[in-house]
Amino acid sequence: MAAGVSAPPRAVVEHLVRQAVYQRLGKPLPRIAQAPNPLVVNISARHCHLTQEAVEALFGKGYQLRVLRWLYQEGQFAAQETVTLIGPRSRVISNLRILGPCRSLNQVELAYTDAIALGFDVPLRLSGDIKGTPGCMLMGPAGFYELKEGVIRAARHVHMHPDDAAFYGVRNGDYMRLKVGGDCGVVFEKVLVRVDPAFRLEVHLDTDEGNACNLQPHTPCELVKA
C-alpha cells in the first residue's frame, strides 16, 4: 500500500478562503482571520507509540514501520501496522493502530469507553508521563511484547507554534478552553498548551470527546484563553 496523501483539513482551506475574501473586499480582517494559522481539531482514536525494540518483537527482527497516512504534525504518521491489545480481563482490542515514527518509550492511548470495555482503570496523563500506569500485553504477527506500564488516557492538549502562542497570549503549560458548536456543543476545559517551533496548531481530542460533541469537519471550533 502506498503512503496516502491527505487533503488539507477543512479548517486550513477555510482559513485561506476567509483571508482572501476579506482582502478582496478591502475590509479589515476579523480577529479569527488574523490568526497566523488555522485551528485544526482532530480526533485521535485509540493507538499506540512503540519503541523499535517493541516493533521488532512484534513484527520481526529489523522490521520498519511503513507509512499508511501522514498526520498533521510534521513527520508523524499512522503506520500500516496494527497490534492486538490484551487487557487485564483477557479482553482484546484488535487492530490497535501504531503511530510512527518509533519513540523512546511504549505508550497506549485509550479513550475511557475503550478502557471500560477492556476492564482497565487507566489514569489521565500527559503523553510521556507513564510512571505507575497500568501495563498490557501486545500481540503481533511475530510475537508478544509486554508493556510493564504505559496505558493512559491522554489529557486533551493543543500543539502550537510560538507564533500561535503569541497570538493567543499563552505559554507552554498554560490551559485553554476549546468551544465546540453545533447541536450538541461542548466547551472543553483544561486544554493543555504545548508550544514547540516544530508544532502545527492542532487540538487533539479522543473519541469520547469527539463523539460527545459530534465533531465533524464543518463543526465550528474556537480556542480561547482560560
Q: Which positions lie near a copy of itself, rule CB under 8 A?
A: 111-113, 116, 124, 155-156, 183-190, 206-209, 211-214
Residue closer to a copy of itself, measured from CB, 63 or 112: 112
Nearer to a copy of itself, 33 or 122 (CB): 122
**Looking at beta carbons only, is 55 or 178 nearer to a copy of itself?**
178
Min dist. Cβ of residue 225 to a copy of itself (A): 16
Shortest spacing between CB 45 and a copy of itself, in angstroms: 10
Q: How far is the CB of 145 from a copy of itself (least distance, A)?
A: 26
Residue nearer to a copy of itself on the CB measure, 100 or 210: 210
Q: State in angstroms the smallest separation of the CB of 222 from a copy of itself.
A: 13
**Which residue, 101 or 182, is less far from a copy of itself as judged by CB?**
182
Least CB distance to a copy of itself at residue 91 (A): 14
Kindly write down the DSSP assignment for every residue of the chain, as one continuous string: -PPB-PPPPHHHHHHHHHHHHHHHHTPPPPHHHHSSS--EEEEE-SEEE--HHHHHHHH-TT----EEEE-SSTT-EEEEEEEEEE-TTS-EEEEEEEEES--SS-EEE--HHHHHHHT--PPEE-TT--TT---EEEEETTEEEEESS-EEEEPPEEEE-HHHHHHHT--TT-EEEEEE-STT-EEEEEEEEEE-TT--SEEEEEHHHHHHTT--TTS-EEEEE-
